[in-house]
Amino acid sequence: MTPPYTAPSMRAYHSQNNDIGYMQPHQLNPVIEPQFEAVNEYIINHLHSGVPLVEKIGHYIVESGGKRIRPLLVLLAANAAEYEGDQHISLAAVIEFIHTATLLHDDVVDNSELRRGNDTANAKWGNAPSVLVGDFLYSRAFQIMVEIGSMEIMQVISNATNIIAEGEVLQLLNAKNPDTTEDAYMQVILGKTAMLFEAATESGAILAGANKDEQEALRLYGRHIGIAFQIIDDVMDYLSSAEEMGKNVGDDLAEGKATLPLIHAMREGTEEQRQLIRQAIRKGGLDDLQPIMDIVHATGSIDYSRNTAYAEADKAIKALDALPDSSFKVTLTQLADLAVKRKN
């Protein structure tokens, strides 16, 4: 059995920062806190619509929790690149609107019933309203981008939304396919998750007028922390309770998704274990959840997946070397640690 990769520098940093695991991400930097609250206010103020159901569903999903890490990344990137204006507030709202739209669409595609510990919008109002309100949030995001007035930012974000859509389709094609490789899995999470993280940090850098080296550094930071974030999300599906995660345990298995813990377990397990997982992926459902959770632990697949996430977080931190020292750079480093330590 191949021993799991260990990222030493990340593990060392990880062990020295246990206290930040109990903080909300926006609380890591006192300068950012009021900006973060301004983003929340901006989001609420820009959910207005002449159609009451649009506002009702929009408010429901936006106000139902979530750490808002993606808009936080916009604020941190812009500040780390020494931005002095206020358009990073509206840009952060753009990223959150796009993220919220993808959640509404995802929950319909996945037939999910629980999100952030609450009923999903599609569980409360049905699929059609959820999809259409997701479309509304996409269009509202692009309205705000026009107001920001940067063609370069619009190019980054429009490209990201296109790749996110492709990533979702790719995940759909990979559903119930036990032959999904680790490379194919990484391609999916780069598209469906990491691209919006990347767009958040890159657009924040562009808004601030950062030089090309700093833009590239922040783009790579966003990409790698996004990959780490999604891997940990997939690990938690085999660890946490529904109360901790805010979604049902085993959702990925129920949908026939071959995520990294399962891919590694099939590679390292016995033939009998491999066949059980393959069968479960093909048919979906939760009939074999407990034995598969046992296999995932027995094969070291949880540790392997975590260490893969740690390695991605390490890459994110390394990318920050191109930035000038600041409290925001420190916070970005802490956020990478928090992304791999979180329990929900």
Q: What are phi and psi of 114, to 5 degrees?
A: -135, 130
What DSSP element (H or E) covers 114? Answer: strand 114-115
Look at domain 27-334 and name its CATH class. mainly alpha
What's the CA gap between 224 and 84, in Å, rounded? 26
Confidence (pLDDT) at 299: 97
Ordered by start, the domain boundaries in the chain are 27-334
Residue 57's contacts (CB-CB under 8 Å, 6 or more residues apart) are 104, 121, 125, 129, 130, 133
Confidence (pLDDT) at 4: 36
Taking only the tens of pLDDT, the chain with its 344 residues reads: 333 333 333 333 343 444 444 568 877 889 999 999 999 999 999 998 989 888 888 888 887 777 899 999 999 999 999 999 999 999 999 999 999 999 898 888 877 777 767 888 888 888 898 999 999 999 999 999 999 999 999 999 999 999 999 988 888 888 899 999 999 999 999 999 999 999 999 999 999 999 999 999 999 999 999 999 999 999 998 985 544 544 567 888 988 999 999 999 999 999 999 999 999 999 988 888 999 999 999 999 999 999 999 999 999 999 999 999 999 999 999 999 999 988 77
Task: Answer whether 258's CB lies under 8 Å from 178's CB.
Answer: yes
Which residues are registered as beta bridge partners of 115?
118
Confidence (pLDDT) at 27: 79
Confidence (pLDDT) at 146: 96
